[in-house]
Structure 1
Amino acid sequence: MPSIHDFATWEPVLRLLRAANMERLAAPGGHVGGRIGRHGWSMPMPPRLPRPGRALQVEDMQDEFDAVERVRSALADAGFDEISFVAEISPSGQTTLHLVSFGPAVEAGTGPHPGSLVLVEGSVPEPWRRVPDPVPGAVPAPSVDLALLERRLRKRIPHAIGATEAEITATEARLGVALPDELKVLYRVTRGRWEDWGDDYEKAERVFRAVGCELFPLDDLYIADAPSRPSPWEFAAMAAVVTPPDAAVQGVVGSPGWIAFGDNGGGDRIAVDLTPGPRGHTGQIIVLSHEENIGADLVADSLTDLVMNRRSRRHSGRRHDQLPVVARVNIRSLPSIHAAAHPGLEVLSIGVWEGEPLSLAPVIGLPRLRTLTAYPGTLADPLEIAKLTGLEFLELGPEEWRVLLDAGAVPRSLSAAAIEVRGDRHPLAIVALANELLDLWDRPPITQTILEGHLGPTA
């Protein structure tokens, strides 16, 4: 099998791209780019339409599958997860292929463009550094009833195999936290192992119905802390931790007191909450959505309530009647930066804008502003960014970054940065710009390998 750096490995992909983008490639500066990884790919190919009267079949895209698989096999052989590429193909078939390796300082992006640049190794956005606030007055819910919980479980799953005290103790040692009494009762009745059910789906379903969720075996319990919910900088930097005074659940990303013990069947984790919000109960049951990066929702005031199917209707803690700590200024949201400015503002996102470019003067000096994203062309004076001394994440268009770089005004407080690319910008120019930013922090650069070859004239 040819290696990832052999032109022959890429020929089938390049032929498909040439056939699908002939006009684009023939234009001055014409190029195509994309990304191929072990688990997927992104390339400028037209949508494939099924034959009349039937759905799209694998064979309708077999040529693309085969071409991509050749590259993916070479990736696996080289130990790479993914690679980006930019190809320039002349009408005669002469081809220059740039293979782009983003390296450890760049997160995954879209197509051939780099994602967020991690300027400080190991850094994470502020919400991922937050720990729950102490709630000294928190107590278990009045509904906790260990005897009732055990009776109901044994009645519903009478022949279940329970965990031993040694197994429970070992789990506590692994997690570094004592399991709450309700959770111990649950696992003393059933340890939740698939082999205990003899691969019998009906028995497993009986346990799920008895508990109220798909129960994890003891060995799979885990602490749903912030590192267990990783998120790229471009999304995580836009989040904020907010816990109103009437919240039942704290608005953190994760907590050392969230013990995940099940799933709702749709990928959302069910957990016991030992660090509740100001109006919550110790040991309440919460759900962590797989579609969200932060926060959780209240399910039941106790495990007893969950098993008895008494779901809580109390407020989880998400409020929409306060000044937003994450503000969006664009043609459909806030009408100005002045309207977004207040001392608690943490994230300012400037989107598509039809008026005159905006000044950042209203937010200069705000004590908590840590994230700024600005759509290309929306800032009246990019150099005002230098006065935002607390920024840890900044996303700008290439022209705005150029202004800051040329003036030596890139904020040194940044932990990560991103380049907002709109339109058909040449990926290699964006790579060069990204490398300038990485170099300021002495981070590993994005590297290129150039391959030359000839595809021959088109048929």
Structure 2
Amino acid sequence: MPTVCDFATWEPVLRLLRDSGAREQAAPSIRVSGRISRQSWSLPLRRRLQEPGRAVRGEDMRDETEAVERVQRALADAGVDTVSFTGKISQDGKATLRLLGPSPAVESGIGTPHPGALLLVEGAVPQPWRCLPDPVPDQSPGAVPATSADPALLERTLRERLPDAIGATEAEIAAAEARLGVPLPEELKVLYRVTRSRWEDLGDDYEAAERACMAVGCELFALDDLYVADASSRPSPWEFAAMEAVVTPPDAAVQGLVGSPGWIVFGDNGGGDRLAVDLTPGPRGHAGQIIILSHEENIGASLVADSLTDLVLDRKSEGRGGSGGDQPPPVAHVNIRSLPSIEAAAHPGLEVLSIGVWDAEPLSLAPVADLPRLRTLAAYPGTLADPLEIAGLDTLEFLAIGPAEWRVLLDAGAVPRSLSAAAIKVHGDQDPLPTVAIANEILALWDRPQIVQTRIEGDLDRVGPAGPVGPADPVGVVP
């Protein structure tokens, strides 16, 4: 990454950080850290307070934006999506910067220079992303469409509303089925026989596009853009995904999955939520019902209409999300606001235990030691009485604990070998270098690629706005 490793690339960012930090730190040097990706950045800058009632404008952040864009261009040239950094800047302008990674075995931290989840097993995904839909019994109501499904009525209604639409041919529908690997239900075929919803068919007529949305009840995708919303279509970082659980109550209309090979996405509600035909309904659902997948959620879907006919005729269904009965939840949160103890969280079906902010004595994990389905443990730093109790949790696939707790496990050789991924929970403004050192120790246990540190040195007082006055200092790579 020659341009990313050039001191001149980072000079504007470092200058902003020095100017911002000098107002807060009177020490001989200041520590800086942050994260920049091609799409976003997180820098510890003190921004000027705006006048009351005035919003932030582009010119208010011009220096910051231009400084970051120089790094983003270098990332793009190097084919790198994101980079974290930490360093020191002395009062005389001497700066030492360390670029942290990237590593193919480490997810990006969320708004932090610290590493995200460590991917210990190549290609592993959290358990909810491995769940397939339960089969629908042949004689159950879910095996057939709802009584409201009426392909003939649907076609008449759509042709009345869209008399000039260009429909798909049978060959085009067959090609879509071959591409998706699943037969399209009859109602969906009827919809695309009336309109294949290609933008070029509308001749750049935005009013026609709006009429089509009103006629169908959503922003309809072109036949060529139909896709199956299986679990892989809904990616999520391990730190979030491992905290989810698949639950389908016995009275639910929709299975509580991440995704399904029977969810055929055909439209959008205009706000980023996707509408799909559901061919793998829940216990109280119907084949071909219409569901919506929220872009703000990692898992699950909600019922919108019992059939495509109902959607087009604006006959919305009641939710029928399912109550879950009296079963304790598979995800438990122990903290000062939720459950009061580990004992209160423990039950045979527990899959995820999250221990948050705690103001009492540290907690023992003994109550969950023998639970057969516990796969995720996330504990706020300092909340565990004995981190070595983790060694007895041999069903864990994801573990997120603080640096001190990881230190105990590493020194004792007690890191659970059942793990597929791990995370180091760090709170506050801490130097990321110790976190990276622990992360590399964990990665080494699984022989995974390390987080490489690239050291860049330079002198801000020898650098003008146009770039370095003299040659850049050498670059060193520290494993």
Matches of 1:263 and 1:437, distance apart in 2: 42
* CA deviation vs aligned residue, 1:168-197 (integer Å, no higher than 9, x gap): 000000000000000000000000111111
Within a 5 Å distance, the mapping from 1:202-213 to structure 2 comes to 202-213=207-218
1:231 aligns with 2:232: no
Normalised by the length of structure 2, the TM-score is: 0.93
The aligned residue for residue 44 of structure 2 is 44
Residue 255 of structure 1 aligns with an amino acid whose one-letter code is: S
The aligned residue for residue 411 of structure 1 is 416
The aligned residue for residue 136 of structure 2 is 135
Deviation at 1:119, TM superposition (A): 0.5
Matches of 2:159 and 2:11, distance apart in 1: 64
User: CA, structure 1 residues 318+29, in 2 after alignment: closer, same or farther (shift >3 Å)?
Assistant: farther
1:180 aligns with 2:185: yes
Q: 2:245 aligns with which of 230, 240, 247?
A: 240
SS at match of 1:348: strand
Deviation at 1:48, TM superposition (A): 3.4
The aligned residue for residue 291 of structure 1 is 296
Within a 5 Å distance, the mapping from 1:368-387 to structure 2 comes to 368-387=373-392
* CA deviation vs aligned residue, 1:270-325 (integer Å, no higher than 9, x gap): 00000000111000000000000100000000111111111000412364853111
Residue 225 of structure 1 aligns with an amino acid whose one-letter code is: D
SS at match of 1:87: strand
What is the aligned-residue identity percentage? 72
Residue 127 of structure 1 aligns with an amino acid whose one-letter code is: P
The aligned residue for residue 168 of structure 1 is 173
Within a 5 Å distance, the mapping from 1:341-360 to structure 2 comes to 341-360=346-365
1:365 aligns with 2:366: no
Deviates more, 1:449-458 or 1:163-172: 449-458
Structure 1 alignment gaps of length 5 or more:
none
The aligned residue for residue 101 of structure 1 is 101
Deviation at 1:79, TM superposition (A): 1.7
1:305 aligns with 2:306: no
Within a 5 Å distance, the mapping from 1:151-162 to structure 2 comes to 151-162=156-167
Asked if structure 1 preserves the Cα contact closer than 8 Å seen for 2:277 and 2:291, the reply is yes
Asked if structure 2 preserves the Cα contact closer than 8 Å seen for 1:359 and 1:381, the reply is yes
Matches of 2:290 and 2:75, distance apart in 1: 43
Matches of 1:272 and 1:193, distance apart in 2: 20
User: CA, structure 1 residues 27+316, in 2 after alignment: closer, same or farther (shift >3 Å)?
Assistant: same
Deviation at 1:229, TM superposition (A): 0.2
1:59 aligns with 2:59: yes
Deviates more, 1:362-371 or 1:71-80: 71-80
Matches of 1:299 and 1:261, distance apart in 2: 14
The aligned residue for residue 438 of structure 1 is 443
What is the total number of aligned residue pairs between the two structures? 459
Asked if structure 2 preserves the Cα contact closer than 8 Å seen for 1:140 and 1:302, the reply is yes
* CA deviation vs aligned residue, 1:37-63 (integer Å, no higher than 9, x gap): 111111100133335664322111111
Deviates more, 1:43-52 or 1:294-303: 43-52
Residue 151 of structure 1 aligns with an amino acid whose one-letter code is: R
Residue 253 of structure 2 aligns with an amino acid whose one-letter code is: A
Matches of 2:325 and 2:234, distance apart in 1: 24
Structure 2 alignment gaps of length 5 or more:
464-479
User: CA, structure 1 residues 18+38, in 2 after alignment: closer, same or farther (shift >3 Å)?
Assistant: same
Matches of 1:53 and 1:23, distance apart in 2: 26
Asked if structure 1 preserves the Cα contact closer than 8 Å seen for 2:22 and 2:30, the reply is no
Asked if structure 2 preserves the Cα contact closer than 8 Å seen for 1:102 and 1:445, the reply is no
User: CA, structure 1 residues 28+342, in 2 after alignment: closer, same or farther (shift >3 Å)?
Assistant: farther
Deviation at 1:2, TM superposition (A): 7.9
SS at match of 1:32: strand
Matches of 1:408 and 1:239, distance apart in 2: 29
Q: 2:429 aligns with which of 424, 437, 455?
A: 424
Deviation at 1:417, TM superposition (A): 0.3
Deviation at 1:452, TM superposition (A): 1.1
1:393 aligns with 2:398: yes
